[in-house]
Amino acid sequence: MCADLDVPLSPINIQRFANDCLQVQLLENCRERDVYLVQPVVRPAQESLMELLLMIDAAKGASAGRITAVMPHFAYARSDKKDAPRISLGGRLVADLLETAGVNRILTMTLHAPQVHAFFRVPTDQLNALRELAEHFLPSDLSKATVVSPDLGNAKSASAFAKMLGVPVAAAAKERFDGDRVEITSLIGDVTGRDIIVLDDEIANGSTILAILDLLREHGARSVRIACTHGIFANDAAHRIAADPDVVEIVTTNTVPSTGLLAHDKLTVISVAPAFAEAVRRIHSGESVSALFDPTHV
C-alpha cells in the first residue's frame, strides 16, 4: 500500500509487560494528520484486535486529525446474528469497541454478511475483490465455465462475478450444523460437463468447499477452480482442498497474512494492496470511493 501511495510506512512499538498486558507507541508525529492504521483482525484474533484498539487510542491521544482503521479482514464479521440462545453478537460488540476507542472511519473488504456493515456507526467503506479475481480468470478459456456459489447467501456476489466473466451462474443450498459440519443438499443450475469456478467470501476450515466438491462430482462437473477473498485455511484446509483431484487451482487474496502458512503449487495469492491504496488516496483527497466497492464496475 505504501509503495502504491509513495508514502513511508510509519513505525510503531508494541511492548508486552510482565503481566501480559500490551502497550502501543506510535513512533511518528500524527498531530492533526490523516492517520490510517492497517491491521487485519485475524488469528490470533484477540491479539490483533487489542493491538488495533491500542493503536487507535494512541493516535487519538496524539491529537490525530482523523483516524481510519483499515481492516482487510474482519474475523468477527461471522458473529453477526443470534441463532442460538444466550450467545454474544461479537461483530456488533467489536464495532462498538472500535468507535469507543476513537476511530473515525472504517475501511474493510468483503464482510461475511451484509448486516455486519450496519454494526458500524462511523462511515464505513467495504471493498470487494471481485474485480481482482475476475482479472485473474479472464485470460483463461471460459467457453465452458460456470460460476457456482456454495450457498444462497453468496449468490448475489456470484452473479456479479459471473457477469464480469461473461459466464452462467449456479448456486447451492447449504445447511450448517454444530461446529464445522456442513451439508449441501441441492444445486440450482447446470454444471454437468462444465469448468466450475466456486466463489466464496471466506475459506476457514474448508468444510463448505469440500462439501460442494462432492456435490459437483455427483453432477458431472469437468473441473473445479476455487476462488475466495479471505483465505484463512485453518487446519491445513488448503492442502486438503488441493488434494481433491478435480481441483485445478485455488485462488485467494492477501487480506489474511499467509507467511509460513501456505505452500502448494495449486495455490495462487493475489494482492489487493493496490485497491486499498486507491481507496486510501480517495478518502484522503475527498473523492468518491464507490467505484472501488461496486462489484459491477470494471
Is 163 known to be catalytic? no
Q: Are 105 and 283 in contact (CB under 8 A)?
A: yes
207 CB-side CA count, 13 A: 12
| Residue 226 backbone zone (phi > 0: left; psi -120 to 50: alpha; other: beta) | beta
Cα(227)–Cα(239) distance, integer angstroms: 15
Closest to 112 (Cα-Cα) out of 47, 203, 190, 180: 203
DSSP 107-131: EEE--SSHHHHTT--S-EEEE--HH
- DSSP-derived secondary structure letter, 238: H
**Angle 130-137/155-165 helices, nearest 10 degrees?**
40
For residue 67, the SS3 value is strand
Catalytic residue among 81, 82, 174, 266: 174
> Residues with catalytic annotation?
174
